[in-house]
């Protein structure tokens, strides 16, 4: 049962949610850290809100606990069902276990194993169903239809939005003079709740939502005047890959959010790597989307006090490898070169020595002899090389060419 039957969310709802979140073992206050590295890169004063250090590794427990506690106290509910790609799953599982009730979470079959294991570890029963979030959601709805369980939606619920909004109160208390707050957007529950809080506490603060390009729905939904759902999503930021928003979150975004920008997976990957290197923080793609927007051409924060929200830290190690390879390749710290040679003994050794002379490490080499443009007796050598960056890479390429070899950079 929702505290606000009108289907919207007020600041009073957010304040009531904050009173319920009175257990430090469920939701703790997360720190804020100034990033001088991001200051230099953006021209602003950047304060990272580190919600990825929350229990369960994300903000999701706030909304889940608010929703489940309301239902337990008002209706005596004992069983809850949710659908999630990972972070909402863990939030629901922890909240239900702390409140002494049962939870079943439906997750897509492709959900990161670390998130599946963590959800079970928090006490939930996990069912893996469907290719994506939408198919998992459909199955979860079926489970609820055949039982007395209560469905806990990831974002389309006033109690969930109000719970997420408690983070907005906390962020305002952390930095009352903040000019711009940057919030990742999937289904819109987080940005809706935070924006509702700031609309009351600091209406002059600019609220910026960020979506992954491969899962962006807000701009199209605003243009069409109703929620748009994508048939499929394609992004490394699985935490915001819902592929849809709701009437509730769309109306709150339209009312309280100043702008929504999109970022590419390449920009997200660079943000993940930058946070690892400069802030020493492990942040998942969804959580890093706010920093990706900060570094993109679509957002100017020069001279402003800015708080990007790092909303999740549940980064699967396989995804971390994918992100690192992409980001290092983009920086040319991982370099793939294709060198055309006469296929005779000694050529591989000669070119390898040229690379070694530049103190670059060769990870792998392979021969290609079947390319149609090659003449008889020719081959390609494809080198995968570790470098210190773009300048180092250019020097290596220049050296190989100066010895008479045709060489092509093939990272793309």
For the cut 90, the answer to whether the pLDDT of residue 113 exceeds it is no
Q: Do domains 11-58+162-327 and 331-409 have the same CATH topology?
A: no
CATH 3.40.1190.20 is held by the domain 60-151: no
pLDDT at residue 232, rounded to an integer:
85
Q: At what angle do helices 60-75 and 87-98 cross, to 10 degrees?
A: 40
CA 136 from centroid of its chain's CA atoms: 19
Enumerate the H helices of 257-385 as residue ranges. Answer: 265-274, 285-295, 317-330, 347-356
- Distance, CA of 412 to CA of 182 (rounded, Å): 31
- Distance, CA of 263 to CA of 194 (rounded, Å): 20
Nearest partner of 112 among 283, 265, 239, 273, judged by Cα: 239
For the cut 50, the answer to whether the pLDDT of residue 2 exceeds it is no
48 close to 69: Cβ distance less than 8 angstroms: no
pLDDT at residue 135, rounded to an integer:
87
Q: Which range has the worst mean pLDDT, 38-52, 124-138, 294-308?
A: 124-138
The CATH label, of 3.40.50.620, 3.40.190.10, 1.20.1300.10, 3.40.50.1100, for the domain at 11-58+162-327 is 3.40.50.1100
Structural class in CATH, domain 331-409: alpha beta
Mean pLDDT of 288-314: 96
Nearest partner of 101 among 138, 137, 64, 142, judged by Cα: 64
- The structure tokens 């499929």 sit at 232
> Cα–Cα–Cα angle for 364, 283, 157, nearest 5°?
135
CB within 8 A of 224, min separation 6: which ones?
none
What's the pTM?
A: 0.89
Strand pairing report for 32-34 and 259-263: unpaired
For the cut 70, the answer to whether the pLDDT of residue 385 exceeds it is yes
The number of residues making up the chain comes to: 412
Taking only the tens place, the pLDDT of each residue in 386-412 is 999 999 999 999 999 999 999 999 975
Taking only the tens place, the pLDDT of each residue in 241-287 is 888 999 999 999 999 999 999 999 999 999 999 999 999 999 999 99
- Distance, CA of 229 to CA of 243 (rounded, Å): 6
Q: Which range has the worst mean pLDDT, 6-10, 59-63, 320-324, 344-348?
A: 6-10
SS3 label, residue 32: strand
pLDDT at residue 231, rounded to an integer:
86
133 close to 89: Cβ distance less than 8 angstroms: no
Give the start-to-end residue ranges of the domains of the chain. 11-58+162-327, 60-151, 331-409
Give the model's confidence band at 72: pLDDT under 50 very low, under 70 low, under 90 confident, else very high. Answer: very high
Taking only the tens place, the pLDDT of each residue in 5-40 is 447 999 999 999 999 999 999 999 999 999 999 999
């Amino acid at each position: 049962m929702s505290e606000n039957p009108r289907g919207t969310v007020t600041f009073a709802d957010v304040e009531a949610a904050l009173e319920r979140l009175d257990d430090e073992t469920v939701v703790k206050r997360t720190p804020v850290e100034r990033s001088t590295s991001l200051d230099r890169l953006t021209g602003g004063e950047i304060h990272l809100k580190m919600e990825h250090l929350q229990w369960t590794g994300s903000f999701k427990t706030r909304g889940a606990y608010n929703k489940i506690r309301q239902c337990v106290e008002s209706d005596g509910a004992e069983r809850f069902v949710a659908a999630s790609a990972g972070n909402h799953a863990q939030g629901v599982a922890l909240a239900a276990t702390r409140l002494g009730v049962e939870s079943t979470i439906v997750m897509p079959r492709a959900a990161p194993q670390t998130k599946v294991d963590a959800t079970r570890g928090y006490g939930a029963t996990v069912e893996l169903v469907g290719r994506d979030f939408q198919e998992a959601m459909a199955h979860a709805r079926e489970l609820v239809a055949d039982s007395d369980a209560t469905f806990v939606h990831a974002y389309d619920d006033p109690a969930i939005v109000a719970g997420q909004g408690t983070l907005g109160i906390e962020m305002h208390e952390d930095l009352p003079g903040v000019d711009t707050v940057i919030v990742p957007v999937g289904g819109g529950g987080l940005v809706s709740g935070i924006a509702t809080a700031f609309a009351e506490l600091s209406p002059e603060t600019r609220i910026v939502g960020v979506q992954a390009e491969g899962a962006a729905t807000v701009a199209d939904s605003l243009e069409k005047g109703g929620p748009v759902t994508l048939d499929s999503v394609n992004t490394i930021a699985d935490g915001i890959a819902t592929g849809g928003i709701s009437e509730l979150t769309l109306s709150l975004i339209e009312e309280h959010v100043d702008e929504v920008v999109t970022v590419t997976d390449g920009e997200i990957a660079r943000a993940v790597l930058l946070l690892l290197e400069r802030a020493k923080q492990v942040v998942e793609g969804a959580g890093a989307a706010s920093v990706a927007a900060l570094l993109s051409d679509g957002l100017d924060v020069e001279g402003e006090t800015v708080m990007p929200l790092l909303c999740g830290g549940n980064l699967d190690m396989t995804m971390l490898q994918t992100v690192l390879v992409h980001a290092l390749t983009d920086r040319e710290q991982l370099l793939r070169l294709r060198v055309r040679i006469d296929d005779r003994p000694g050529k591989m050794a000669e070119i390898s020595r040229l690379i070694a002379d530049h103190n670059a490490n060769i990870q792998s080499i392979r021969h290609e002899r079947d390319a149609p443009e090659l003449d008889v007796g020719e081959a390609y050598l494809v080198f995968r090389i570790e470098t210190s960056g773009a300048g180092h890479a250019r020097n290596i390429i220049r050296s190989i060419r100066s010895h008479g070899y045709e060489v092509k950079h093939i990272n793309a």
